[in-house]
Chain A
């Protein structure tokens, strides 16, 4: 199984790589770095991408690099549909998530359409994508993915996760830091629900808090990533 990480040489992308590596280490999966561009990339870009991939490989993980051409979202969704993909981890600048808005819509579109669970990573202000402190999980109880993600990250980062329901969690985050949650060192994991109101609330949270924010979405109806389901029958491709 594979953690799919769409990348470019940007800070949100690097933050996504950090989170993707944590997941891959915990789940013992490989990492696929996917670079999408309009035209085949120049060699200098491959050198940049190699600089991202090599430290991951140095940690003992299996990393492969792919470059494809076409629409960013279309290509990501195409690859996310592969039977070997357990998570998609991609960077976002965090604004906006609300439907119809312009700007960083790639992450929103993937969150809303991916057949595999997606984590959109909004880097901590000035802190990149490091998971160092406690994880606060905020989302509806019927969506297991944020908790699953938090558990995985907590194991690898050797930290703890705390669950809160939507109202309480958002209130805690917006009004004050939760006790024991050091500022700018923890992470907040939000569920990206279909409900516009929920998305609107998420948007507000994302814009206001400085911590690392992980937004979990994707079409997966069961709410359990493939890596935690029984293995499927032999699949082609990959």
Chain B
């Protein structure tokens, strides 16, 4: 009891502690400590009764009973109260005493015992101890000892009140933090030392699916494919070992059009409940946008070059063609060289078609979008193509399209189908169909040999052809036209035969709008 041989406020060593201030405020000093110590021999024989009285009162309340349902727990608490009273009487009532009392308060909070029960039961303890003082002590000392008891018990109540208040604040803070964390628009997981996910933002569960339940180990919380692709165990080990933040800049799941891209950041922490943060960002849209930009830039460069070359080639082609016509016209009818020059002229025309197709592909397509009746466009396409396809109308629908351009796309598809059948030495009769299906869907169907596996992946790319005389641009141009209308062109299935599907947007409106869609620099 070294420091309490003097007034706490006058202790050397700087400003008083909180406990010293409390002692000084209530006036508890060394004399009070001596009185409590003198009372101790009288209290000890009755300790059990005091403790039972205290907890019998607490347990009368249903709210307290529900918290302390375990008999073993109650017995432990009774034993703790005995020690509590013992220390209350013996001290020393120094800073260490205060620290221990705060811990006891924290235990009550952790157990979940509401403060009102504890505080009211403390009054019983006060009464019991004062009663013992009244019985056991000479009259001259009774009042003073009771005052000392009041002071120390009021100090205990102040410490307990502080513990409950701090715990309440911490709970509120955690609750608020948890609320904020769960509603952040990012995917963040918090792992404890066991690797279990102790908290996760809502986007986590949306992003990661049904296995994303808080409480699971991260190995079962996250998809195995993501763990594998990121080599996550290695990175987690590295982050924890180095204590540094680790970023895995690109994690790819899936392939080609279905690929998803992520960036994962691991942040090691030093809290017992939070050992590691995992931040997962989905970059799929960003990556696709980057790819589209790169593709558009590449196509723009290619388109510009192609257009320039096409113009440069057309001039000499025109001159060659004109010269051939003049020479041919001046020859006798039976001159055999006419036939040879005719073949040269054919090749010149072929080159010219190639240049035209290239220019068509390279230059922007200006579309006039309006609600077009699909069966009408389909019928006109069959007529203009010269291909004996059967028209099958399953729906009379209108779609948002440019009628002329759509007709051109269908003509390309029909002529492709015809060429495929000719190439396989198959007749056309009954083997070609143009079907107008519900949902603004047009299907060009043929019973030919189908599309070969070698070109399947590149079918709609420019200059891909299996025909000896094809330019390889027909499908690419058709796809560009349809995409410009907001639709899609695809090959359905992989044989036998071939079915090309043009999917457009249904329209209920009339009137037109012009869309400068799909330049070589903006296709895709």
Contacts and interface: CB of A to CB of B under 8 A. Distances in A.
Interface size class of B (residues with CB under 8 A): 10 to 19
Interface in B195-238: 195, 217-220, 228, 231, 233-234, 236-238
B interface secondary structure, majority: helix
15 contacts: A42-B194, A43-B191, A43-B194, A43-B275, A43-B276, A46-B233, A49-B233, A49-B237, A50-B240, A51-B237, A51-B241, A64-B231, A65-B231, A65-B237, A66-B228
A47 B275 CA distance: 12
Nearest to B232: A65
Interface string A31-45: 000000001111110
Interface of B: 191, 193-195, 217-220, 228, 231, 233-234, 236-238, 240-241, 275-276
Nearest to A237: B228
B193 A64 contact: no
A67 B241 contact: no
A-B interface, 9 closest residue pairs, ranked by CB to CB distance from nearest: A50-B237, A40-B217, A46-B237, A65-B234, A40-B219, A65-B233, A47-B240, A42-B194, A50-B241
Nearest to A46: B237
Given A43-B191, A43-B275, A47-B241, A63 B219 contact: no
B216 to A, nearest CB: 9
A51 B220 CA distance: 24
Interface of A: 39-44, 46-51, 53-54, 63-67, 69
Contacts of A65: 231, 233-234, 237
Contacts of B193: 42-44
A208 to B, nearest CB: 38
A126 to B, nearest CB: 28
A43 B240 contact: yes
A145 B193 CA distance: 43
A107 B80 CA distance: 53
Given A63-B234, A64-B234, A46 B219 contact: no
Contacts of B237: 46-51, 53, 65
Given A43-B236, A47-B240, A49-B233, 9 more contacts: A41-B195, A43-B193, A43-B276, A46-B237, A51-B237, A54-B238, A65-B231, A65-B237, A66-B233
A130 to B, nearest CB: 24
Given A40-B219, A43-B276, A67-B219, A50 B234 contact: yes
A66 B233 CA distance: 7
